[in-house]
Amino acid sequence: MTKSNDPRIDAYIARSAPFAQPILQHLRRLIHKAVPDVEETMKWSFPHFDHHGIMCSMAAFKEHCTFGFWKASVMEDPHGILQRVGETAMGQFGRITSLDDLPDDAILLAYLRQAARLNAEGVKLPTKPKQKRKPLKVPGFFKEALAKNSKALRAFEQFTPSHKREYVEWVTEAKTEGTREKRLATSLKLIATGKSRNWKYERK
């Protein structure tokens, strides 16, 4: 045990399936061997390892484990391991069901040290381009309901695009006709008062 061992990860491994425990323990040992000052933590309910930021993570499921590097997209990949990201499971090693599914220790150690170096050097992940949202299309039944309520119509026309979208999506995502009608009626009442769909959570 080292001072950076997180007891929450001990508990996570202990309650994992028997097949998963040696896999998680092995990965953990390699991570500490490669980066002695690595810090353990739990994020999103599964183990993460930080070194100047998130470096890598592992997780156990009912029938497989996963392991992945936070900055895999900018890492050098001499063994073609990182090309497998997202193919069959999260992470870069697919579905890990035994230690045999992992690369040789020397290979993993090299990748771990590279990941630590990228963080230490402050290398950033490329920013994802913002996707343009499709223009809001108000369905006919929604327009007809607004047309019958002049107060709601005037208020709706003054809403920002995001506030309009909140109402339209909430109503149109209803799974049954009855639910849609109820949501539409509720929407009209709120719109008529000038309130946004999530007015309760807005800062005053």
Phi, psi of 31 (to 5 degrees): -60, -45
* Among 100, 104, 103, 51, residue whose Cα is nearest residue 82: 103
- Correct CATH for 7-120 of 3.90.1150.200, 3.40.50.410, 1.20.1080.10, 1.10.287.130: 3.90.1150.200
pLDDT at 81: 83
Q: What is the pLDDT of residue 86?
A: 47
- pLDDT, tens digit only, all 204 positions of the chain: 445 689 999 999 999 999 999 999 999 999 999 999 999 999 999 999 999 999 999 999 999 999 999 999 899 999 888 765 444 556 788 889 999 999 999 999 999 999 999 999 999 888 777 777 788 899 999 999 999 999 999 999 999 988 999 999 999 998 899 999 999 999 999 999 998 887 766 554
Six-digit token string for 120? 């230490």
d(CA 107, CA 93): 13
Q: Which residues partner with 43 through β-bridges?
A: 46
pTM of the model: 0.61
Domain ranges across the chain: 7-120, 140-201
Secondary structure, 3-state, the chain: CCCCCCHHHHHHHHCCCCCHHHHHHHHHHHHHHHCCCCEEEEECCEEEEECCCEEEEEEECCCCEEEEECCHHHCCCCCCCHHHCCCCCCCCCCCECCHHHCCCHHHHHHHHHHHHHHHHCCCCCCCCCCCCCCCCCCCHHHHHHHHCCHHHHHHHHHCCHHHHHHHHHHHHCCCCHHHHHHHHHHHHHHHHCCCCCCHHHCCC
